[in-house]
Amino acid sequence: MTQQTVNGCMIIIGNEILSGRTQDTNLAHLSRVLNELGVRMAEARVIPDIESVIVTTLNECRKKFDYVFTSGGIGPTHDDITAACIARAFNVELIYHPDIVEVIKRRQAPPEVMESRLLMARVPAGARLIDNPTGGPQGFQMENVFVMAGVPAVMQAMASTLDQDRIKGGLPVRSRSIGAFLGESTVATALSAIQDQHPDVDVGSYPFYRPEGYGTNLVIRGTDEAELERIKEKLRLMITSFGAEPFEPDR
Amino acid sequence: MTQQTVNGCMIIIGNEILSGRTQDTNLAHLSRVLNELGVRMAEARVIPDIESVIVTTLNECRKKFDYVFTSGGIGPTHDDITAACIARAFNVELIYHPDIVEVIKRRQAPPEVMESRLLMARVPAGARLIDNPTGGPQGFQMENVFVMAGVPAVMQAMASTLDQDRIKGGLPVRSRSIGAFLGESTVATALSAIQDQHPDVDVGSYPFYRPEGYGTNLVIRGTDEAELERIKEKLRLMITSFGAEPFEPDR
């Protein structure tokens, strides 16, 4: 795709994702949220809870991409080091944000527990908060970096508050899909020709294997809905020209 | 964790993962396979089907990590450019591997379709093949880089053939888990002390929210099973000291 677009990078912070213990689902969710905001997810990285790795990755990605989104590492335990790492990456102090302190103090706790909970109020100086509709501690934004929770329900709640006032995206990225019980090799040459004719659109093919046979789902992505419809019609004709019946994939 | 270990990096290649259309499951699977081989997944990257990005990422990661594993982009269509990118990264020719050609030709097809299918036989000169127990085209290895399919069933089949003759790992990484209906903030200070006492072991805490209440799963990972058992006993005592009942998490 040659079209200039606004891009984003997600940094998933957490040993539990790298060890295979936990299946990440935040990337797919955030990608879909960003599509609607006109931001194309250009890369994602999964990194461990190691300060030097987090700082280096963050500094590399925030220069390279228009927006960076992190998930994970903002809880109250020793392995939650994201806020401190972001302060270090931006070379600013780590402060206790009064608005997060207020949210945390709404729920009473013994002094030692409260002290641990208040660790979640630490943000880099100058950070702007990201609302947390679940009622827990907020996330925060430093320049083009958005720092969110790792627990999917909380991350999704925070992501739901991102809007065009805050994220200046391009046109929303739309997609159309069409499937057929045809092998990828059967459609490869015709598909390549269609991609060449439409360089602004991303034409993808994804094989599937089902009890009733194997086939391919074709997905086109771009910002011009009329063009997507025209290409979908071309794909439909291509499929019937190979003697197969086009169908609408599940998604 | 201070212990020196053999590490790995996974590069997930595919626009469909970055767009949110497809949920990756290959990372979690491969991480668990590598744990058994004594290789710790140290980082993962999800990148688009763009030649310059694939070549740059590959050359960076193969120097930085002991082993690199890729998934995706080895099918027969225009967006399957992984093999060509790896040849370019290693600065060698792209050749048709006779053993893959043989597998592909076992199944008859019209000439144009066969031509597309044979694209899957292309590997960088000097590559060693990775068996594909599903009966489809093989993956391949170039030095410390292992190139596998993106379709999970095929990727898992290929990964099942990796063994200690091929991957020189350290001691297998083991884990123990214990859960309690205690907030992370309640256990934070005690947990941090236990982590400090055992720098060779990775102590993680993962909050959960269930209909019956919220709580925390504690996970310890390391290579010394006796030490893991001793730490698990410490965690059990810590949990009961807070008046809660320890339980075995689902995994």
Q: What is the pLDDT of residues A151-184, one digit of tens each?
A: 999 999 999 999 999 999 999 889 999 999 999 9
Are A87 and A187 found together in one domain?
A: no
B168 lies in some domain: no
When pLDDT is averaged across residues A98-110 and rounded to a whole number, the result is: 95
Q: Are A115 and B192 in contact (CB under 8 A)?
A: no
- Say yes or no to pLDDT of A3 above 50: no
More confident residue, A3 or B136: B136
B144 lies in some domain: yes
Q: Which of A159, A191, A214 is the last residue of a domain?
A: A159
Give the bridge partners for A9, in sequence order: A43, A68
Are A89 and A197 found together in one domain?
A: no
Residue window 20-79, chain B: list those with CB within 8 Å of chain A.
20-25, 27-32, 35, 40-49, 53, 75-79
Q: Are A182 and A216 in contact (CB under 8 A)?
A: yes
**How far apart are alpha carbons A184 and B76 in whole angstroms?**
7
Indicate the number of domains in chain B: 2
When pLDDT is averaged across residues B177-197 and rounded to a whole number, the result is: 95
A166 lies in some domain: no
When pLDDT is averaged across residues A23-47 and rounded to a whole number, the result is: 96
Predicted confidence band at B136 (pLDDT cuts at 50, 70, 90)?
very high
Searching chain A, which residue's CA lies closest to the CA of residue B44? Answer: A46
Q: Are A18 and B17 in contact (CB under 8 A)?
A: no
When pLDDT is averaged across residues B128-133 and rounded to a whole number, the result is: 97
A249 lies in some domain: no
Please provide the average confidence, as pLDDT, over all residues in chain A.
94
Q: Are B65 and B75 in contact (CB under 8 A)?
A: no
- Say yes or no to pLDDT of A104 above 50: yes
Are B82 and B142 found together in one domain?
A: yes
A58 secondary structure, DSSP code? H
Question: For A2-16, B76-90, B121-135, which range has the lowest pLDDT when averaged over its residues?
Answer: A2-16
Residue window 118-157, chain B: list those with CB within 8 Å of chain A.
119, 151, 153
Identify which of A11, A125, A5 has the alpha carbon closest to the alpha carbon of residue A66: A5
Q: Which residues in chain B have Cβ-Cβ distances shorter than 8 Å to A19?
A: 31, 35, 41, 173, 175, 221
pLDDT value for B49: 95
Are B214 and B237 found together in one domain?
A: yes
For residue A161, the Cα-to-chain-centroid distance in whole angstroms is: 14
- Say yes or no to pLDDT of B102 above 50: yes
Q: Residue A185 burial (CB < 10 Å; 0-12/13-18/19+)?
A: buried
Work out the minimum CA distance from A125 to partner chain B, whole angstroms. 23
Q: Which of B159, B186, B214 is the last residue of a domain?
A: B159
Q: Which of A95, A124, A159 is the last residue of a domain?
A: A159
Half-sphere exposure of B227 (CA within 13 A, CB side): 16
Are A129 and A25 found together in one domain?
A: yes
SS3 B76: coil
Are B144 and B178 found together in one domain?
A: no
Are B189 and B99 found together in one domain?
A: no
Are B154 and B234 found together in one domain?
A: no
pLDDT value for A5: 83
- Hey, what are A192's tokens? 């390549």
For residue B72, the Cα-to-chain-centroid distance in whole angstroms is: 13
Residue window 214-243, chain B: list those with CB within 8 Å of chain A.
219, 221
Predicted confidence band at A2 (pLDDT cuts at 50, 70, 90)?
very low
What is the value of pTM for the model shown? 0.93
- Say yes or no to pLDDT of B2 above 70: no
- The beta-carbon neighbor of A209 closest among B23, B116, B153 is B153
Are A184 and A212 found together in one domain?
A: yes
Are B138 and B178 found together in one domain?
A: no
pLDDT value for A81: 96
SS3 A12: strand
pLDDT, tens digit, 9 for 90 and up, residues B20-65: 999 999 999 999 999 999 999 999 999 999 999 999 999 999 999 9
Longest dimension (CA), chain B: 73
A12 lies in some domain: yes
Q: Above pLDDT 90, what percent of chain B? A: 92
When pLDDT is averaged across residues A70-94 and rounded to a whole number, the result is: 96
B91 lies in some domain: yes
- Hey, what are B240's tokens? 């009961």
User: Is A246 an 8 Å CB contact of chain B?
Assistant: no
Signed CA dihedral, A149, A152, A157, A159: sign only: positive
Predicted confidence band at B210 (pLDDT cuts at 50, 70, 90)?
confident
A225 lies in some domain: yes
Q: What range does the domain containing B83 cover?
A: 6-159
pLDDT, tens digit, 9 for 90 and up, residues A195-212: 999 999 999 999 888 888
A211 lies in some domain: yes
- The beta-carbon neighbor of B151 closest among A32, A46, A207 is A207
Please provide the average confidence, as pLDDT, over all residues in chain B.
94
For residue A44, the Cα-to-chain-centroid distance in whole angstroms is: 8
Q: Which residues in chain A have Cβ-Cβ distances shorter than 8 Å to B219?
A: 16, 21
Read off the CATH number of the domain in which A148 is found. 3.40.980.10
Q: What is the ipTM of this complex?
A: 0.93
Are B180 and B154 found together in one domain?
A: no
Read off the CATH number of the domain in which B193 is found. 3.30.70.600
Half-sphere exposure of A194 (CA within 13 A, CB side): 27
Alpha helices (runs of H) in A119-224, residue ranges in sequence order: 152-159, 184-197
Identify which of A16, A184, A20, A43 has the alpha carbon closest to the alpha carbon of residue B78: A184
Are B209 and B85 found together in one domain?
A: no
